[in-house]
């Protein structure tokens, strides 16, 4: 990603530098964020988004909180709480904020070292998921000469700092010359698929098509993809998976069509403290994003709307979960609690 090299966000001495994801694909704008209020705003309006990316940003946010208020003060604790609750569904945010904040007593250098470690681990996890996921896809669709993969939302380098989760798998398959087509659902209301995934696929020179969300299940029912690859915002202990709204419909259709449905996410998204999907809080983002499309109102004045940002796909509809350390074969009765030796 031009100005930031391959990274969508990073630490820059005393501030966070990040691509403003709300401006893509029209403009590549780099934000410099040097205070907690700015970071909470950026997370809330999805300037930075995607579970691993907001986890890394949250970790750096703790360093900003210490710069502003001094580590360990009451204001520091309040600032940390504001960051960790900026969005509720992705477990990475609270987890990484808590992990970095736990180093507060050791001083500012320790905070920064931990935040950088979180970043480095996510970067390494993306590479590992790409390789592991591509190997699984080869196994699951071994009869196809080249793979057509359907995906939702954006799960690339923008969502993870580098490479991505599900999109890292698609990228690895493409780099191996085995990608026939990537199909990206546009992902209303905020169009992460049409704006961001298409932008990333274009830049990697991969063959792709964007579809309206409603076309996803229909294409699957006609056997027009070999595999569905999605990311995750929180994976419960039983394998139930929260991801972008629309994921559940794809999983139902994939099952109907006997097409493998694979979740790709780092271990940092697996939440063993959440027993099942019922316990996952689904973010409600309010009516504005539904009644407007990129600033233009599309409904009659006064229309209300429902806007759940995520849904939960039950474990029984998921073929496998690929993490940076293991493949969990839910289709063979495994769960995240299963010791797969990874």
Angle (CA) 148 152 154, round 5° = 110
Give residue for tokens 């029209």.
Answer: 26
Task: Name the one range near ligand MRU by CB under 6 A: 134-142, 157-165, 219-227, 316-324.
Answer: 157-165
Minimal CB distance residue for ligand MRU: 231
Task: By CB under 6 A, tell whether 129 contacts ligand MRU.
Answer: no
Interacting residues with ligand MRU between 306 and 325 (CB under 6 A): 309
Q: Which stretch binds ligand MRU (CB under 6 A): 68-76, 111-119, 155-163, 291-299?
A: 155-163
| Residue 243 interacts with ligand MRU (CB under 6 A): yes or no | yes
Tell me if residue 331 is catalytic: no
Q: Is residue 80 involved in binding ligand MRU (CB under 6 A)? A: no
Residue nearer to ligand MRU on the CB measure, 226 or 233: 233
Burial of 166 (0-12, 13-18, 19+ CB in 10 A): buried
> How far is CA 245 from its chain centroid?
12
Structure tokens at 223: 């056997």
> Does residue number 52 form part of the binding site for ligand MRU (CB under 6 A)?
yes
How many residues bind ligand MRU, per CB under 6 A? 19
**Cβ nearer to ligand MRU, comparing 6 with 106:** 6
234 binds ligand MRU (CB under 6 A): no
Which distant-in-sequence residues (6+ apart) come within 8 Å of 143 by Cβ? none
122 binds ligand MRU (CB under 6 A): no
Q: Does 165 bind ligand MRU (CB under 6 A)?
A: yes
| 8 Å CB contact between 287 and 305 | yes
- 61 scored as a contact of ligand MRU (CB under 6 A): no
342 alpha-carbon distance from chain centroid:
22
Q: H or E segment at 61?
A: helix 51-69
- When asked if residue 240 is in the footprint of ligand MRU (CB under 6 A), the reply is no
CA atoms within 13 Å, Cβ hemisphere of 261: 28
Pair 231, 155: CB distance under 8 Å:
yes
Q: Applying CB under 6 A, which part among 11-19, 49-57, 131-139, 316-324 lies near ligand MRU?
A: 49-57
Cβ closest to ligand MRU, residue 67 vs residue 241: 241
Tell me if 193 contacts ligand MRU by CB under 6 A.
no
Identify which of 187, 243, 245 has the alpha carbon closest to the alpha carbon of residue 215.
Answer: 187
15 Cβ partners below 8 Å, 6+ apart? 32, 33, 34, 64
| Catalytic annotation, residues | 233
What does the binding site for ligand MRU look like in residue numbers (CB under 6 A)? 46, 49-52, 90, 153, 155, 159-160, 164-165, 192, 231-233, 243-244, 309
């Amino acid at each position: 990603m031009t100005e930031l090299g391959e990274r969508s966000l990073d630490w820059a001495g005393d501030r966070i530098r990040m691509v403003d994801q709300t401006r893509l694909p029209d403009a590549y704008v780099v934000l410099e964020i040097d205070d907690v209020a700015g970071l909470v705003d950026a997370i809330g309006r999805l300037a930075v988004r995607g579970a691993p990316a907001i986890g890394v940003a949250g970790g750096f946010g703790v360093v900003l909180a210490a710069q502003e208020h001094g580590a360990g003060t009451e204001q520091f604790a309040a600032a940390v709480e504001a960051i960790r609750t900026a969005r509720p569904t992705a477990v990475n945010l609270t987890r990484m904020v808590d992990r970095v904040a736990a180093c507060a007593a050791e001083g500012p250098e320790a905070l920064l070292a931990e935040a950088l470690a979180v970043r480095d681990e996510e970067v390494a996890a993306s590479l590992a998921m790409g390789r592991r996921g591509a190997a699984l896809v080869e196994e699951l669709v071994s009869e196809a000469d080249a793979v057509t993969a359907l995906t939702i939302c954006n799960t690339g380098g923008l969502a993870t700092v580098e490479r991505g989760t599900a999109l890292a798998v698609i990228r690895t398959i493409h780099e191996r010359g085995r990608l026939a087509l990537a199909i990206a659902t546009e992902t209303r209301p905020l169009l992460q698929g049409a704006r961001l995934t298409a932008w990333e696929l274009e830049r990697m020179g991969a063959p792709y098509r964007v579809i309206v969300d409603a076309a996803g299940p229909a294409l699957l029912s006609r056997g027009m993809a070999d595999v569905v690859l999605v990311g995750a915002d929180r994976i419960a202990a039983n394998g139930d998976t929260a991801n972008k709204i629309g994921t559940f419909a794809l999983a139902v259709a994939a099952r109907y069509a006997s097409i493998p449905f694979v979740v790709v996410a780092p271990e940092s998204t697996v939440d063993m403290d959440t027993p099942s999907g019922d316990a996952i809080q689904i973010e409600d983002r309010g009516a504005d994003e539904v009644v407007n499309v990129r600033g233009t109102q599309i409904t009659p004045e006064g229309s209300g709307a429902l806007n759940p940002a995520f849904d939960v796909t039950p474990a029984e509809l998921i073929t496998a979960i690929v993490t940076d350390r293991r493949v969990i074969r839910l289709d063979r009765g495994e769960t995240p609690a299963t010791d797969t030796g990874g």
